[in-house]
Amino acid sequence: QCEGEVEVFIHQVWRRVLLDSWSLTESSVVCRQLGCGSVLNFYGSSSSSPEHSHDSSGELQLSTNSQLQLHTTAVNHLPWLVGSGGDCAGRLEVFHSGSWGTVCDDSWDIKDAHVVCRQLQCGVALSNQQVPAWFGPGSGPIWLDEVECEGNEKSLWSCSSPGWGKHDCQHKEDVG
């Protein structure tokens, strides 16, 4: 079910993607990042309902050739860095199953940091903070632990780990 309305989570709010700023290129990026394969089709439909009118002039729909749902709750695994005042440094948090959570620092190394920086379009990692919770402890679930990347993966979700929510950590071990 890799199809549906595309929204992004910005500044703690879900926002619809503006129709006039979208192309096959962006559709391909979304499908690839969600592990949905290549784009089968995408289309827009205008909306004048009050819930949509303040955000955009239309809604964007797209379909891909795999089995991940792509709409508000399916922008799962979206990573971001918080606690530093910038976009390319901070505590790593990921959105999974409707909640933001953290990643534990067990086995975390510079190769894992390189993958996250690449995924966030921040270039290469300059350092891998070895101080536990350098950017402060997070809250909510600890989503990943024992992450093992080779360093050439396109996203953190391509790296190995025991699985979502499986950990033996506390927030004082959050990756940053």
What string of pLDDT tens digits covers the 176 residues of the chain? 466 777 776 666 777 766 666 677 777 777 767 666 667 667 665 443 323 222 333 344 444 443 333 333 334 456 768 776 677 888 888 877 777 889 999 999 999 999 988 888 888 887 776 666 778 888 889 999 999 999 999 888 889 999 989 999 999 998 88
Where do we find the tokens 């890799």? 2
Between CA 38 and CA 9 the distance in angstroms is 23
The domain spans of the chain are 3-71, 78-173
Count the alpha carbons within 13 Å of 137 in the hemisphere toward its beta carbon. Answer: 9
| Structure-derived torsion over alpha carbons of residues 15, 21, 5, 94, reported in degrees to the nearest 10 | -50
pTM over 0.85: no
**According to the model, what pLDDT value does residue 137 have?**
87
**According to the model, what pLDDT value does residue 35 have?**
63
Phi-psi sector, 105: left (phi>0), alpha (psi -120 to 50), beta: alpha
Helix (H, G, I), strand (E, B) or coil at 170: coil
**According to the model, what pLDDT value does residue 70 have?**
32
DSSP letter string, 26-71? HHHHHHHHTT--SEEEEEEEE--SHHHHTT-SEEEEEEESSS---S
Per-residue model confidence as pLDDT tens digits over 9-39: 666 677 776 666 667 777 777 776 766 666 7
The structural architecture, per CATH, of the domain 78-173 is Roll (3.10)
